[in-house]
Amino acid sequence: MTEDFDAIVIGTGQAGPALAVRLAGAGYKTAIIERERFGGTCVNVGCIPTKTLIASARAAWVARNAASYGVAIDGAVRIDMPTVKARKDGVVAQSTNGVESWLRGTSNVTVIEGHARFESARVVRVDGRQLTAPRIFINTGGRPTVPAIGGLTDIDYLTSSSMMDVDFVPEHLIVVGGSYIGLEFAQMYRRFGSNVTVVEMAPRLIPREDEEVSQAVREILESEGIGVRLHAQCIDVEKRADGVAVRVSCEEEPRVIAGSHLLLAVGRIPNTDDLGLERAGIATDARGFIVVDDQLSTNVSGIWALGDVNGRGAFTHTSFNDYEIVAANLLDGEARRVSDRFAVYALFTDPPLARAGMTEREARASGRPVLVGRRAMARVGRARERGEMKGFMHVMVDAETRKILGAALLGIEADEAIHCIIDVMSAGAPYTAIRRAVHIHPTVSELIPTLLGELSPLQQAIADIPPLILA
């Protein structure tokens, strides 16, 4: 028997639940399907658990450094990993249960558990059930990439997902992948007490960032005792009696790094290979991402793709923004587009890196006349008071339009301070809107108007850059 709906949502990631509830509220009889845990990646194995674990790691760091603040801790600082994990599990459970009960408690929404597959452009099968709808929304997210590394099938390895089950402190964690996810785990486990080595194939960490950002992040991690091995062009792995050995070079010494555990953090692939997309005629690109237009429609009319699965973003906030775009266009008569948004994200190391808009490399390539303002965190009162002065703030402005082109803030509270820049960029207002704002003292944000009052042309600023102060 076929069950008829007005809308079907596949996946309960960061776009699906909000969309299902919105559609149901607008009178659409809506089915939402989940094959695993409600809330998807962010809630169960992504943002929420990692930031909860990072909070425990920071508590350990603060305790170890307490003496420098005049706080005496008599006795060693110990990590109780089962409790760290239990705390994380508790925070995750609250969120995943919240998503599930929200959906189940919404009238006009039918929650179906199981793996969804297209039978055709209008029919979706979930186990024995056959559902139809004129509108289908795909929010199936992604999963960690497992690269074709020699020897991998013979060893036990961890991914960002299986790291969530770890309730012990590895003796020596080797992290293959020196980008956002890998670096957050690297610092977290170093602070829990592991020896940590990051292995990256590229010549620098987080190669998407500007060189000075990569370099400063590297210095921050190395200052905590994290080993960084770049240019690892020739990676393969081998089982050892006490763990794992990772070959990092065919020529340069050291050729091999030995550790107790291996974490692979080399990117994510979309969950599209087991969706039956070919039966619905839905096009994907060479990497498996569903091809969408600027309003997130696929090539098949009546089918949309939202979140990581469309390759137009890889964050919770981009997935949620996808929901807002689709809902506004479908239900509110608006014409919102993905291309209206600009890049914003953070790397939640401590201190964090927050980014908005263009990198310096992109700004140079744009050919625009660029002004830049720069300030070391050591010159920010709040950072000095906190005794955490690593990093810098860097903001670029278009000299003609006076609009902010991009910003990289690396330092304490950067993930919050960036929002005054994001809001002005979103409003399409000139940088002078921040310049004239009165910010609260003493905060990190209060220095952003000051920094914008000291702009100089990009070339000159590069020549004049004071050495990075990474206290």
Ligand X SMILES: Cc1cc2nc3c(=O)[nH]c(=O)nc-3n(C[C@H](O)[C@H](O)[C@H](O)COP(=O)(O)OP(=O)(O)OC[C@H]3O[C@@H](n4cnc5c(N)ncnc54)[C@H](O)[C@@H]3O)c2cc1C
| Catalytic residue list | 441
Nearer to ligand X, 14 or 295 (CB): 14
In whole angstroms, the minimum distance from the beta carbon of 139 to ligand X comes to 5
Cβ burial of 239 (10 Å; 0-12, 13-18, 19+) is exposed
**DSSP string covering 388-432:** ----EEEEEEETTT-BEEEEEEESTTHHHHHHHHHHHHHHT-BTH
Nearer to ligand X, 5 or 431 (CB): 5
Nearer to ligand X, 47 or 59 (CB): 47
Nearer to ligand X, 307 or 406 (CB): 307
Q: How far apart are CA 352 and CA 184, in angstroms?
A: 10
**394: phi then psi, degrees, rounded to nearest 5:** -140, 115
Task: Write down the H helix ranges in 122-161.
Answer: none
Give residues with Cβ within 8 angstroms of 329, minimum separation 6. 295, 335, 336
Query: Can you give the binding site for ligand X, defined by CB under 6 A?
Result: 10-15, 33-36, 40-42, 45-47, 50, 115-116, 139-142, 160, 181, 271, 275, 307-309, 314-317, 319, 348
Give whole-number Cα distances, 397 to 47, 152, 200, in Å: 31, 47, 32
Give residues with Cβ within 8 angstroms of 416, minimum separation 6. 444, 445
Q: How far apart are CA 337 and CA 326, in angstroms?
A: 9
Residue with tokens 């990289």: 408
CB atoms within 10 A of CB 73: 10
Nearer to ligand X, 115 or 129 (CB): 115
Residue with tokens 């179906």: 112
Nearer to ligand X, 36 or 119 (CB): 36
Q: What is the CA radius of gyration of the chain?
A: 24
In whole angstroms, the minimum distance from the beta carbon of 322 to ligand X comes to 8
3-class secondary structure, 72: coil
In whole angstroms, the minimum distance from the beta carbon of 292 to ligand X comes to 12
Which of these, 149, 141, 206, 213, lies nearest to 177 by C-alpha position? 206
In whole angstroms, the minimum distance from the beta carbon of 400 to ligand X comes to 32
In whole angstroms, the minimum distance from the beta carbon of 17 to ligand X comes to 9
In whole angstroms, the minimum distance from the beta carbon of 225 to ligand X comes to 22
Nearer to ligand X, 33 or 409 (CB): 33
**DSSP string covering 191-252:** HHT-EEEEE-SSSSSSTTS-HHHHHHHHHHHHHTT-EEE----S-EEEEETTEEEEE--SSS
